Amino acid sequence: MDDLLLNQFLLLGAVLFCVGVYGVLARRNAVLVLMSIELILNSVNINLVAFGAMHGSVAGAVFALFVIAIAAAEVGVGLAIVLLIYRNRKSVDLDDMAEMKG
Amino acid sequence: MVAQNLFFYAIAAMIVLSAIRVVTSQNVVHAALYLVAVLAGVGAQYVLLTAEFVAATQVLVYIGAIIVLLLFGVMLTRSRIGRDQDLTHKHWMAGAATAALLFGVMAYSLIDEYGWTRTPLPADTRIAHVDGSNTATVSDAVFGQYLVPFEVISVVLLAALVGAIVLARRD
């Protein structure tokens, strides 16, 4: 137990990912679902940086930076869509949006 | 137990507890503030993994920009600021079962594959040895080997920005 184990970081990422998946499945407010997606993206970043450290390469850190940039774009577009839904329906409750239901 | 391990477990406990509050809190603003704690903790883990530049970017982009954007989203959609009992779906048990099952599968496969693999301590890593700075190595990689993806990311960001403005504009 003198070193940091790779699995410490991977399991932390797994916990964070599963909490995020629970948030996406169980929340009804669209903004809260976007927050849960941020949790998922962060868990992936932990994995990327941990694997990069294990291999002694910066590729993991570079990919984590790319993921952070994509996450910023995702939140921007996602919130614009949520705002548009709110403007049309006066609600961001995901249970109300069932027009596409077969 | 080295100091890194102590810090790892303390920060990991903080991250997991805050993350659970993010997905269970009945107040949208509280959830956003707990998300700040999660993001700061993840940034601290990057420092433990000797990725200082990613940690700095995490603080600037996530805590500085994305949280503000999310809080604007909360305000503009007039989610009630205060307690709101309807934030969680009535079938949340199914979501919890799915997440638990997923974690079981992932934990089993991770422990099976990487059981006791070590990450080298910062002093041993090859990254730390290049000019004494990890950030310089990251910038060399971004503007060398990964130049094309970097440029593509900037176009993606521009497209997302234009798309967000077009979507949110009133006319």
Q: Which pLDDT does position B127 carry in this prediction?
A: 47
Cα–Cα dist B43/B48, whole Å: 9
State whether B5 and A4 contact (CB < 8 Å): yes
Q: Which pLDDT does position B119 carry in this prediction?
A: 66
Q: How large is the average pLDDT for residues B133-161?
A: 91
Verify that B74 and B142 share a domain, yes or no. no
Q: Which amino acid is at A48?
A: L
Domain that holds residue B27: 1-81
ipTM of the complex: 0.91
B66 in a structural domain: yes
B158 in a structural domain: yes
Q: Domain boundary at B54, B81, B108, which? A: B81
State whether A11 and B86 contact (CB < 8 Å): no
Cβ neighbours of A79 in B, within 8 Å: 69-70, 72-73, 164
Q: CB-based contact (8 Å) between B86 and chain A?
A: yes
- Does the pLDDT value for residue A85 go beyond 60? yes
Cα–Cα dist B120/B48, whole Å: 11
Cβ neighbours of A87 in B, within 8 Å: 170
Q: Which of A74, A71, A46, A76 is nearest to A61 (CA)?
A: A46
Q: Which of A84, A69, A79, A65 is nearest to A32 (CA)?
A: A79
A6-90: CATH topology is Helix Hairpins (1.10.287)
Q: Domain boundary at B26, B57, B81, which? A: B81
B123 in a structural domain: no
B21 in a structural domain: yes
Buried b (16+ CB within 10 A) or exposed e, B45-76: bbbbbbbbbbbebbeebbbeebbebbeebbeb
Enumerate the β-bridge partners of residue A4: B119
- Does the pLDDT value for residue A69 go beyond 70? yes
